[in-house]
Structure 1
Amino acid sequence: MLETPPIWFLALAFLGAIGPLVFIHEFGHYIVGRWFGIGAETFSIGFGREVAGWTDKRGTRWKVGWLPLGGYVRFTGDMNPASMGQDLDKLSPDLRARSFHAKPVWQRALVVFAGPAANFLLAILIFAAFIAVNGAPRTPAVVAAVMPGSPAAAIGLVKGDRVVGIDGREIRRFDDLADYSRLRPGEEVVITVERAGRSFTASTRLASVTEADRFGQTYRVGRLGIATGERVFEPVPPLQLIPEAAGITWSTIENTSVGLWQIITGRRPLEELGGPIKMAQVAGQVASIGWFEFVQLIAFFSINLGFINLLPVPMLDGGHLALYAVEATRRKPLGAQAQEWLFRGGFAALMTLMLVATLNDLSSVGLWQTLGRLLG
């Protein structure tokens, strides 16, 4: 078992991962806003008091805040980093022309969506680069061995069987089957199998297995109980690199949404929800393994950042998009008071979520156990 790196290394790895991702996210907002002629007053990486910064020739203040847990672009006409608008009638004609809130709703929606889209695009480019170098995973879901007493053994799977579907979902490669099973420990599934040119279906309950990574952290995962042959990577033509990488990105988004929904519905414990401390721990551990693994982790972090920001929660990009959808339907925005209450509720929800995630993080690093020993 590997030792967890020191705290300073975890902090550096976290900043090395999250800093560029926040910049990419906010630059997506910024550059699309520029295309639509929207002025930007502030481009900030981090929150709180400014640590360093400069003002460009367009009057945009580029700065770094002392709290590196996000960032924002404050466009002309915004009252605050949450992009709540000022009264347009109080702005001069020049400021009104460059104001974010004076633009058509479709332009504002594209500016907001551009942040998450930039994170997804970064992940696609990283995956495409890896596929160009190593090839794409193509290990077929063909049974090489069946674990005794496993769900696969219970439904009579034998060597040479090929799993082609699970719960109506097509399985083209072993990774598809593994990803689907991993998120559903102890759940009933329907397996579609091909054997000697004929197909059949069978229902079984996936095993719930507790696994430990190389740093000793444990995770509960689902397993069907089959082994496959040697892992296969196939070369991909240059024109197929982006579609292949986009498919991996979409699959990751699907898995993330399933995991979040399982936590919301109680199928997974709330303790599995992690926050910044957990991210720093994972970033440091993966960075200590190697650059290849660390860059791959950055791609997954980027997808998660884009996904979380698209959740329909006020204060997040998804909350803004939901309000714009209401505005497009009603042909007018919600009233200022209604928006203010929604943003307050969204802020409270985010702070509650952050508190729960932080408490989980502190538990995962053994703080409560240490305090118990000291106080005992």
Structure 2
Amino acid sequence: MAVFGFITGYLIPFILVLSLLVFVHEMGHYLVGRWSGIRVTAFSIGFGPELVGFNDKHGTRWKISAIPLGGYVKFWGDEVASSRPDFEGLGRLTEAERSQTLGGAKLWKRAATVAAGPIANFLLAIVIFAILFGVYGRSVSDPVVSEVRADSAAAAAGIMAGDRLVALDGSAIETFDDVRRYVSIRPETLVTVTIERNGQRQDLPLVPKRTELTDQFGNKVEMGLIGVVTNEQSGNFRRIQYTPLAAVREGVIETGQIISGTFRYIGNLITGRMKADQLGGPVRVAQASGQMATLGLAAVMQLAAILSVSIGLLNLMPVPVLDGGHLVFYAIEAIRGKPLGAGAQEIAFRIGLAMVLSLMVFATWNDISNLIG
């Protein structure tokens, strides 16, 4: 029963969510590549041995493979699925044939094809968020303080019940959730809070405390807190409904906030304001997928949108074997007027593969440690 529960409760939701995100990412590569005149030899969801597949009239092998932890589009002239060119093979092709390979296409076509994968993930996130905002709206409350926690950053700064928070570091805020989102990714960082009290405004400096919280599923999450709360009376709890156009705008804003929040988190890791054990791998994603599935379709869709942004950003990292690494190669080629030599690219690909594998091992170790702990 335990194995069956794991499969139905965690594994299946994980595979479904990840497969959707991978499909959209690879479809971005595929569509722009085909539009650019580049031949595609394989489109795979998953890695490893093929489970099922078929060939289309263009000679592309569409397949589902055994290891559901990603996928790839393999272009004609690529040596491996990571789009590393087969330099020897390309040298044996005619000019017309080379133009149909990724390595032989014009520089702008290669860049567009590679960038299309992450862009597709960002667009998917926008669409999902737009649907959620359009169907469910958004629950909001005014940023009015009903209580200040004792020994909190807000108490030390002099914030009082009844104060209205109107800006953070000079940026206007409209809802209490804006406050939570802003300070949560700024632990141990000086923040200037502008409050309105008795019709007068004043700026109060404070430093959000790095705090470890436990969510409803028992997962530990680290974030910055200032120690203020609101209630229905002070916050004027309400639900905002959006028109389709407004929902799309909110989807763009939400996606942008996730991207900026991710960069802020990376910066916090570098500066030591957050611990690296927050990084998760496939085990944690599977766990989160199962947990969100218990909360309903909207929660799963929200998780899918967040993961889609994460996949897009991960692939834009300037690491060879990832899309960002290819874009770096193309930028160097544009500056030099010619591509890097085969030897230099080979070394870079090997280093990049080692970096990606190391990150995966580290993230999976974090997953296992959190499960054991």
Same fold (TM over 0.5): yes
1:261-340 correspondence to structure 2 within 5 Å: 261-340=267-346
Task: Check if 1:256 corresponds to 2:262.
Answer: yes
Is contact 1:76–1:95 with CA below 8 Å preserved after alignment? Answer: no
Alpha-carbon shift at residue 122 of structure 1 (Å): 0.9
Partner-residue secondary structure (3-state), 1:326: helix
Contact 1:77 1:95 in 2 (8 A): no
Q: Deviations over 1:29-81 (max 9, x none)?
A: 00011111111001011111111111101000011111111111111121111
Deviation at 1:138, TM superposition (A): 4.4
Tell me how many residue pairs correspond in the alignment: 365
Q: C-alpha displacement at 1:5, in angstroms?
A: 9.5
1:140-181 alpha-carbon deviations (Å, 9 max, x no partner): 322233223322122222233222332344433222211121
| Amino acid aligned to 2:66 | W
Corresponding position of 1:159? 161
Tell me which of 82, 93, 111 is aligned to 1:91. Answer: 93
**More displaced stretch, 278-287 vs 187-196:** 187-196
CA offsets per residue over residues 287-335 of structure 1, 9 Å max, x none? 1222221111111111111111111111111111111111111111111
| 3-state secondary structure, aligned to 1:65 | strand
Q: Secondary structure at the match of 2:103?
A: helix
3-state SS of the aligned residue for 1:247? Answer: helix
Q: CA deviation at 1:21?
A: 0.6
For normalisation by structure 1, the TM-score amounts to 0.91
User: In structure 1, the residue corresponding to 2:304 is in which secondary structure?
Assistant: helix
Contact 2:222 2:278 (8 Å CA) reproduced: no
1:146 corresponds to 2:148? yes
Question: What residue is the counterpart of 1:117 in the other structure?
Answer: 119
For the 8 Å contact 1:5–1:285, the answer to whether it is kept is no
The one-letter amino acid of 2:5's match is P
Taking structure 2 as the reference length, the TM-score comes to 0.92
CA distance in 1, matches of 2:104, 2:20: 30
Q: Which among 224, 227, 248 is matched to residue 225 of structure 1?
A: 227
Taking a change above 3 Å as real, the CA distance of residues 152 and 207 of structure 1, as seen in their structure-2 partners, is same
Q: 2:33 matched to which residue of 1?
A: 33
Paired position in structure 2 for 1:346: 352
1:372 aligns with: none
Q: Name the structure 2 match of 1:54.
A: 54
What is the identity, as a one-letter code, of the residue corresponding to 2:70? G
**What displacement does 1:254 show?**
0.9
List 4+ stretches of structure 1 deviating above 6 A.
none
Contact 2:165 / 2:173 at 8 angstroms: preserved in 1?
A: yes
Show the counterpart of 2:364. 358
More deviation, 297-306/5-14: 5-14
Residue number among 238, 245, 248 corresponding to 1:239 in the alignment: 245
Show the counterpart of 1:128: 130
What's the % identity of the aligned pairs?
42
Q: Tell me which amino acid in the other structure corresponds to 1:349.
A: M
Matches within 5 A, 1:161-200: 161-200=163-202
Range moving further from structure 2, 193-202 or 319-328: 193-202
8 Å CA contact 2:222–2:274 kept in 1: the answer is: no
Number of the residue aligned with 1:374: none
Unaligned runs of 5+ in 2: none
Partner Cα distance (2:265, 2:303) in 1: 18
CA distance in 2 between counterparts of 1:241 and 1:359 reads 39
User: What secondary structure, in the 3-state scheme, does the structure 2 residue paired with 1:100 have?
Assistant: coil
**In the alignment, is the contact (CA less than 8 A) between 2:188 and 2:273 conserved in 1?**
no
